[in-house]
Amino acid sequence: MDREADIGAFQEGTSLSFINETYWIAWRELKRYLRSRIGMISRLLQPVVWLGFVGNIFSDTRPLLQSVGFPSGYLDYMTPGAIAMVVLFTGIFGGMTTLWDRRFGYFQKILATPVSRYAIALGKVLAISVIAGIQAFCILGIAFLLGVQIGTGVLGVVGIIIVAMILGCGFAAVSIIIGTKAATQEAFWGIINFMGLPLLFMSSALFPLTLMPNWLASLAKYNPLTYAIDAIRFFVTPSFRVASGVGLQIDILTVLAFALVAVIASAYVFTREVQRSI
């Protein structure tokens, strides 16, 4: 009995230790983000430009959107796309900290401690997820000032932030895999730049899938952004359900599955590469 109690206490202590380690890694990443005011502002400027300028430039496309069942103007349509765009680029740029930590010797210091390698990867992913949620909330505020109404109210805002955070987890994990495998910053940025815009344009962020060529619309259905945008668009305009055509629950489950697979893969790749470097 005493031996079983000791084993239980050890397992409980190990679990608490892992959670604590993950928390402090995430907190360090968040502090680095909050200290970079220029970075915070620059990440928000791009969607502001898209909402303020592009949204108004294409304001005359309302009849075209109504022809596919969307009841509002283009600004309402592209707000979910702008949120997804911020989350996408926040997530895929997040892995850059892995290269910085390696370059400035942080990894050598933290790897000399008994901190779990899985906690390092998971902490980074969680921090980027929280940042994605904060930025999604900021974009919603800007959209509201420009006249966009959230059709599902406060619960819809909560739903949007949750979807944004899940999506941020997925792309942050993908970015950490790239940051771990990339030998140089040039290689990292080359891969990221190749990924970012194609993923954005190959989704329903800017135009409905029914207005795209068939081959592009087919590819968009394999893009996790499409399902995240579809879910966010439901919370903004619940009367429009044409994008993925699979329902809100399936949209969220698809994004969740993408994030889960990506996080598991990033933890495995990160831990394996770290062990090789020791």
pLDDT tens, position by position, 220-268: 888 999 999 999 998 988 876 654 556 788 899 999 999 999 999 988 8
Contact 240, 213 (CB under 8 A): no
Tens of pLDDT, residues 88-104: 988 888 777 777 777 76
What is the number of H-type helices and E-type strands within the chain?
13, 0
What pLDDT, on the 0 to 100 scale, is given for residue 165? 94
Tens of pLDDT, residues 203-220: 888 888 888 888 888 888
Q: Identify the residue whose tokens are 């993908």.
A: 174
Tens of pLDDT, residues 153-187: 888 899 999 999 999 999 999 988 888 887 677 78
Q: Which helix (H) or strand (E) holds 146?
A: none
Rounded Cα–Cα distance for residues 42 and 156 (Å): 26
- In sequence order, the 6+-apart residues with CB closer than 8 A to the CB of 77 are 65, 70, 208, 233, 237
Domain count of the fold of the chain = 1
Q: What is the pTM of this model?
A: 0.83
What pLDDT, on the 0 to 100 scale, is given for residue 4? 39
Range of the domain at 175: 2-277
What pLDDT, on the 0 to 100 scale, is given for residue 8? 41
Q: Identify the residue whose tokens are 């979910």.
A: 80
Q: What is the mean pLDDT of residues 107-126?
A: 78
What pLDDT, on the 0 to 100 scale, is given for residue 21? 82
